[in-house]
Amino acid sequence: MTAFSSPRPFVYADHRLACSGVDLAALAEEFGTPLYIYSADAIRERAGMLQAEFATTPHTLCYAVKANSSLAILRMLAGLGCGFDIVSGGELERVRRSSPAALRAVVFSGVGKQTWEIDAALHSEILLFNVESEAELEVLSQRASLAGKTARIALRVNPDVFAETHPYISTGLREHKFGIAIERARQVYRHAATLPGIEPAGVSVHIGSQIRSVEPFAQALQRVRSLVEELRADGLSIRYVDGGGGFGIEYGSQTFDAAASIAAYAAAIRTVIQGLDVHLLLEPGRFLVAQAGALLTRVLYTKQNGAKHFVITDAAMNDLIRPALYQAHHEILPVQEPSPETPGIVVDVVGPVCESGDFFARDRTLPELRAGDLAALLDAGAYGLSLASHYNTRVNPAEVLIDQGQVRLIRRRETLDDLFAPELF
């Protein structure tokens, strides 16, 4: 396991920003910018932390594919023994293409599963459907019966637990679209047990994303534990508890202690489920990949409007939308290390997209950046390219994976021909 002195693998070496010993300026020269860069070593380190903390608990890490759906990263995680949490038929196909054997360790979440997606998951014999409504349960029963299959299910229960996070990624309250109210769950399970093609096998909960306190997880799982005990009293064989994902990181911190944070998280969960005799499913996404990635960009221009200073980069909101969508903070480092005497300047770092919302930082104090300089937006390994778009008819960046100092292109840069290929006129 690689030991990093900071929460991120991006550090200065010989006055140039590097990832696992590889000079980012050299990557820009070879692959161009914008460019997503990921450290395989850092991803392995984070997966190892979680697996070590739950070593005494029967468990499977079902990586949340939506966080970063690169086939190369999925294949690597499957090789580390991970399963996968998916929310679409497309993500199911990504698992199939990266590691067919891992299909048996897939949990299928999401409030709007289409019949073709359900059929594909049934034929793939996935581990578990996380059912989010009574209507979905009926459709799943019909599709399973038609296919001659049995669908193992867990109801995703809504425990009405508040988690302090951005409102767009909070999912555990009554007013959210996700899950079934925990007060109704016992009744719904009783009905599920009578449906053809349905095997109630677990209980699922997911209260949100980017949660940095362990208490909400413990509260939610305590309510799940009580429900499991009630369901077993009803004669149901509940073997799985899916604790969801959502454990967060510190985007702005250079001193984030990932090992200590995950130890506290794991201890809280182990305490709640102790003696329950279940197989624990966890759905980490951001924690595994966010700080392993960065978006490398080149400064196109600088300008001043009145008192405002702008740094305009070749990366834009279509490449990394988190600052615009969530008002998220990403550290920005120049690739050439500034001297300690270099004065800072207050700037907005913006992209070329024709929207005022196209920014990466506002009123941020940074070392002076000039046209042609390279900069890295850190902690971009999660919800970066997976949330990218082609807005303004911009092509998606390339991706490279650095594994023990070896660089591998895992996604080529798109071309305009790629963009226009599906269109008919």
Q: Where does residue 47 fall: left (phi above 0), alpha (psi -120 to 50 degrees), or beta otherwise?
A: alpha
Residue whose C-alpha is closest to residue 340's, from 21, 10, 19, 15: 15
DSSP letter, residue 133: -
H-type helices in 169-289, by residue range? 182-192, 215-233, 258-273, 286-289
Q: How many Å apart are CA 127 and CA 151, to the nearest integer? A: 9
> What sign results for the dihedral spanned by CA atoms 363, 367, 372, 377?
negative
Interhelix angle 89-98/115-124, nearest 10 degrees: 30
Catalytic residue among 19, 62, 82, 354: 354
Give residue 327's identity as a one-letter amino acid code: Q
Contact partners, residue 183, CB within 8 Å, separation at least 6: none
Q: How many Å apart are CA 296 and CA 376, to the nearest integer? A: 5
Residue identified by tokens 């903390």 is: 53
What is the three-class DSSP state of 99? coil
Give residue 241's identity as a one-letter amino acid code: V
Number of H helices, E strands in the chain: 12, 21
Neighbouring-strand partners of residue 211? 247
Residue whose C-alpha is closest to residue 311's, from 388, 374, 398, 381: 374
Neighbours of 386 (CB within 10 A): 16
> What sign results for the dihedral spanned by CA atoms 307, 313, 318, 323?
negative
Give residue 363's identity as a one-letter amino acid code: D
Give residue 325's identity as a one-letter amino acid code: L
354 assigned to active site: yes
User: Which tokens hold the place of 129?
Assistant: 């459907």
Contact 124, 101 (CB under 8 A): no
Q: How many Å apart are CA 212 and CA 209, to the nearest integer? A: 9
Instruction: Determine phi and psi for 401, rounding to 5 degrees.
Output: -120, 125
Contact 200, 238 (CB under 8 A): yes
| Catalytic center residues | 354
